[in-house]
Chain A
Amino acid sequence: MKVLMFGWEFPPHISGGLGTACYGLTKGMSKIDNLEILFVVPKAYGDEEKQTIELIGAGNIPIKVTKLGINAPWVKKLEYIEANATLIPYATPEEYFKLTREKTEGRHQFIHQDEEGYIQFSGKYGKDLFSEIYNYSIVAAKIAEQYDFDIIHAHDWLTYPAGMAAKYVSGKPLVVHVHATDFDRSGGNVNPDVYRIEREGLAAADHAIAVSNLTRNTVINNYGVHPDKVTTVYNAVEPSKVKNNGTRDSNMDEKVVTFLGRITMQKGPEFFLEAAKKVINRMDNVRFVMAGNGDMMQRMVERAASMNIMHKFHFTGFLKGDDVFKMFHHSDLYIMPSVSEPFGISPLEAMQSGVPVIISKQSGVSEILKHAIKIDFWDIDKMANAIYAMLNYPSLSDTIRTKGQKEANNLRWEESAKHVYNIYKQFVN
């Protein structure tokens, strides 16, 4: 069975959980016999792939097929395709308008619209996002013509149009994978254009995969998708690169409580801050760290200052790569107070690193975790109570640390991949 898979980002160039999840899932799937994956992204960066780039020109759209240079056995099964990175951009919004309007007239019309036959992608979230999404779908249609495959799999709304185009051209079944909806990202203040794309993608799909029951319910209730058409497949976590037996890398007598993620409304940073204040009022040997950045950062700094706790509350700014693991290593407790979290892989990474976690009940991952404290994101008192208990009753944090580490290490992408494969089999004979 061959899968044509559309993603938006791929490690190491990732800006969020989507890339991590795609990477983990495809890696898990590569272990399944008789399953091949063609993975398509809008842009490959060429920093690590250069030596193995292979160009396949076809029709008027130049397409590069990239074999990833990562030295891992599973990569052999993955063909990594990207549109040529040196493409000439379309010039005006009118062009973009023409392009999209033509879409309804037939697949070949796409191609002719661009005089040069090239389409530019940045692969980043930006202001031309919508045009990029549609351009991606044009290339997708072309790829669908050129390659043989049995099923199409599109990750999140950015790639739904690509998936739909590929389905349109090939007539092959389409599975869309919902990692998040705009209800999660916007906190209910939904962007109508994004919503439309999500809704169209879900309607066009033969089946949808949601990363949690929480997300599945959103898909059913807010997008009008029949429950039989949506299956929950939980994410997992890559085996930890850093070995950690739970001993903390700090000579401080103080306990460190960490929030790590985008400082945006979706992640609930203000609840973390308010709970921190309550704990600081009751105990002395504790520090709170808010790692990350985002549009609420300034507000959080101001609030912390006005509460007069800046001597105990620290902002690190954006952390990447190994710094994340270092941060875990310095932490006694990790908190994810997300207001709406379709899944949430980062607590699993914390648990792997031997850090006990407190997570909000409004997260998909709370549906599968047993060895974590679960609270409502708005329940600051309960959050503070749980933080206090974790720092003051040693057997609690010890138990959650050891049992949680085991639990996180048992969540394998191979299992998620098998689950996805079983869904494919319903549509492919």
Chain B
Amino acid sequence: MKHICLYFQVHQPFRLRNYSFFEIGNDSYYYNDFLNESILQKVAKKCYLPANEVIYDLIKKHGNKFKVTFSITGSALDQFELYAPEVLESFQKLAATGNVEFLAETNGHTLASQVSPELFKSQIKEHSERIKEYFNQEPKVFRNTELIYSDEIGREIYNMGYKGMITEGAKHILGWKSPNYLYYNTLEPRLKLLLKNYKLSDDIAFRFSDHGWEHHPLTADKYANWLSNLDEKEEIVNLFMDYETFGEHQWADTGIFNFLKEFPQAVMNHSDFTFETPSNIIEKHQPVAGISVPYPISWADEERDITAWLGNDMQNEAFNKLYELAPKIAHITDDDILQDWDYLQASDHFYYMSTKWFSDGEVHAYFNPYVDPYEAFINYMNVLSDFTIRVKQNVPDNTDNKQIEALNDLMIKKETEINELKVKIKKLQEQNRKLKEKENLMNSSNSKNNAGNKVLN
């Protein structure tokens, strides 16, 4: 029983417009609608729609031997609704085949796992509810933003009721171990881990069209042969990549769609692998060992750490200023503010501020609206300044807050007291009434008696 887990990440952030400091406090619309719409429609046309169609056909052709897995972020879902509802429909069509699993993640593609368990949890819950609403599935396996994972995150996820999590098969945590098995979290062994085989994944995602690569051109048969040459005992191959690999990172004329079309058949011809989804893999396989990850890992860069998002002072300032607002946000019910809160947390904003790639910005320059990290930081901070003003207007400062809360408590206390007293009064009145009735009754019986007595007398 050997399985390939084919998982695709679908995400589009709400990119910010050029927001100047003059506008702080004056204008609270932050997004570059034109850019977001044109990118989404371009990607929909080049990737999401044609790739969904290929996958649909493959499912029809291979039945239960071919399954795929997606995670779609909340902001991507929002953009589908706004700019390309047909994409949403085509995903729903895939969901209806029963061969497609949707994973849970944070709704806003955020770094909330680095903030607080409560925030993290609420964002995941929100996302799972939306997945249920759109695709009629309750996610059982979780994928964190950028595959960020640590022992602690794994434990939190298990406590939220998820059975498994996917993450990077980073060399520095695996050591001599192979990613091609099921593993478990060392703090919470009941949480299963699927680890990305980054070599085989990147052969498709990054190297497919690289003419300098020794294996170029990559054909489905060649790739399937590699799979069949894996160690006999290796059970699972996790191929995780951005969905935009198909048609966008690798353009259609590189032959990437043909590769995808022929891939399942070639795999079945050359090896005993079939395609399976994470929640089924967790049911069908036994974990071989625990994996200890004390510090967070991700699927980015050589280092496979989180320094691409939280690696410099600017990123940290922006991150801290943003999450300083979290306690206030908890009191807010205004939909617009909550939506901006979600969109401003997208990890992409922090990624644009990274100074790591001043020399080789290739992958990272992709759809990046800024010339350099400084511009990204300035723009984000201007927007965040305005957002902070709005949040503070909506929820007054801490000291005021406490006073209000104290007054609130007092009012509630008084009110309950009043209610209690009211009840008491009612009771007393009732008693009073009954007493009077009794008296009356007694009086009248007395008078009757008296009358009787008189008669008797």
Interface residues of A (CB under 8 A from B): 278, 282, 370, 373-374, 381-382, 384-386, 388-389, 392-396, 398-400, 403
Q: List 12 A-B contacts (CB under 8 A).
A: A370-B358, A370-B372, A381-B20, A384-B22, A392-B381, A393-B314, A395-B316, A395-B377, A396-B378, A396-B381, A399-B313, A400-B374
Which residue of chain B has its CB nearest to the CB of A403?
A: B355
Asked whether B355 lies within 8 Å of A395 as measured between CB atoms, the reply is no
A278-B20 Cα distance, complex, nearest whole Å: 12
Q: Which of A373, A389, A399 contacts B312 (CB 8 A)?
A: A399
Tell whether B397 is near chain A: CB-to-CB under 8 Å. no
A392-B388 Cα distance, complex, nearest whole Å: 15
A424-B355 Cα distance, complex, nearest whole Å: 38
A392-B378 Cα distance, complex, nearest whole Å: 10
A373-B377 Cα distance, complex, nearest whole Å: 11
Interface string of B300-338 (1 = CB under 8 A from A): 000000000000111011100000000000000000000
Contacts of A393 in B (CB 8 A): 314, 317, 377-378, 381
Which residue of chain A has its CB nearest to the CB of B372?
A: A370
Asked whether B377 lies within 8 Å of A396 as measured between CB atoms, the reply is yes
Which residue of chain A has its CB nearest to the CB of B384?
A: A393
A400-B372 Cα distance, complex, nearest whole Å: 12
Q: How far is the CB of A23 from chain B (nearest CB, A)?
A: 30
Which residue of chain B has its CB nearest to the CB of A282?
A: B21
Q: Name B9-29 residues within 8 Å CB distance of A.
A: 20-22
Interface residues of B (CB under 8 A from A): 20-22, 312-314, 316-318, 355, 358, 371-372, 374-375, 377-378, 381-382
A388-B382 Cα distance, complex, nearest whole Å: 10
Which residue of chain A has its CB nearest to the CB of B378?
A: A389
Q: How far is the CB of A246 from chain B (nearest CB, A)?
A: 13
Asked whether B21 lies within 8 Å of A385 as measured between CB atoms, the reply is yes
Q: How far is the CB of A235 from chain B (nearest CB, A)?
A: 21
Asked whether B382 lies within 8 Å of A385 as measured between CB atoms, the reply is yes
Which residue of chain B has its CB nearest to the CB of A370?
A: B358
Known: A370-B372, A389-B381, A403-B355. A278 touches B314 (CB 8 A): no
Which residue of chain A has its CB nearest to the CB of B385?
A: A392
Secondary structure of the B contact surface, majority rule: helix
Contacts of A400 in B (CB 8 A): 374
Which residue of chain A has its CB nearest to the CB of B313?
A: A395
A278-B21 Cα distance, complex, nearest whole Å: 10
Q: Which of A381, A385, A388, A398 contacts B313 (CB 8 A)?
A: A398
Contacts of B21 in A (CB 8 A): 282, 384-385, 388-389, 392
Q: Which of A278, A389, A395, A399 contacts B382 (CB 8 A)?
A: A389
A384-B372 Cα distance, complex, nearest whole Å: 18
Sample of 4 more A-B contacts, CB < 8 Å, known A370-B358, A388-B21, A395-B312 = A278-B22, A385-B378, A396-B377, A399-B314
Secondary structure of the A contact surface, majority rule: helix
Contacts of B316 in A (CB 8 A): 395
Q: How far is the CB of B241 from chain A (nearest CB, A)?
A: 31
Contacts of A388 in B (CB 8 A): 21
Contacts of B317 in A (CB 8 A): 393-395
Asked whether A386 lies within 8 Å of B358 as measured between CB atoms, the reply is no
Contacts of A394 in B (CB 8 A): 317
Which residue of chain A has its CB nearest to the CB of B380?
A: A393
Contacts of A398 in B (CB 8 A): 313
Asked whether A385 lies within 8 Å of B20 as measured between CB atoms, the reply is yes
Contacts of A373 in B (CB 8 A): 374-375, 378
Top 7 A-B pairs, shortest CB-CB distance: A395-B317, A395-B313, A389-B378, A388-B21, A395-B314, A385-B20, A393-B381
Which residue of chain A has its CB nearest to the CB of B320?
A: A395
Contacts of A396 in B (CB 8 A): 314, 374, 377-378, 381
Q: How far is the CB of A359 from chain B (nearest CB, A)?
A: 12
Q: How far is the CB of A179 from chain B (nearest CB, A)?
A: 28
Which residue of chain B has its CB nearest to the CB of A372?
A: B374
A373-B313 Cα distance, complex, nearest whole Å: 17
Which residue of chain B has its CB nearest to the CB of A390?
A: B378
Known: A393-B378, A396-B377. A282 touches B22 (CB 8 A): yes
Contacts of A384 in B (CB 8 A): 20-22
Q: How far is the CB of A36 from chain B (nearest CB, A)?
A: 37
Contacts of A381 in B (CB 8 A): 20, 22
Q: How far is the CB of A189 from chain B (nearest CB, A)?
A: 32
Q: How far is the CB of B10 from chain A (nearest CB, A)?
A: 32
Q: How far is the CB of A215 from chain B (nearest CB, A)?
A: 22
Q: How far is the CB of B63 from chain A (nearest CB, A)?
A: 54
Contacts of B381 in A (CB 8 A): 389, 392-393, 396
A373-B312 Cα distance, complex, nearest whole Å: 17
Which residue of chain A has its CB nearest to the CB of B321?
A: A393
Contacts of B20 in A (CB 8 A): 381-382, 384-385
A386-B371 Cα distance, complex, nearest whole Å: 14
Contacts of B22 in A (CB 8 A): 278, 282, 381, 384-385
Contacts of B371 in A (CB 8 A): 374
Which residue of chain B has its CB nearest to the CB of A358?
A: B374
A400-B374 Cα distance, complex, nearest whole Å: 8
Q: How far is the CB of B30 from chain A (nearest CB, A)?
A: 15
Contacts of A278 in B (CB 8 A): 22
A398-B313 Cα distance, complex, nearest whole Å: 8
Contacts of B378 in A (CB 8 A): 373, 385-386, 389, 393, 396
Q: How far is the CB of A186 from chain B (nearest CB, A)?
A: 30
A171-B133 Cα distance, complex, nearest whole Å: 85
A282-B386 Cα distance, complex, nearest whole Å: 14
Q: How far is the CB of B312 from chain A (nearest CB, A)?
A: 6
A164-B444 Cα distance, complex, nearest whole Å: 141
A336-B439 Cα distance, complex, nearest whole Å: 100
Contacts of A382 in B (CB 8 A): 20
Q: How far is the CB of B21 from chain A (nearest CB, A)?
A: 4
Q: How far is the CB of B383 from chain A (nearest CB, A)?
A: 12
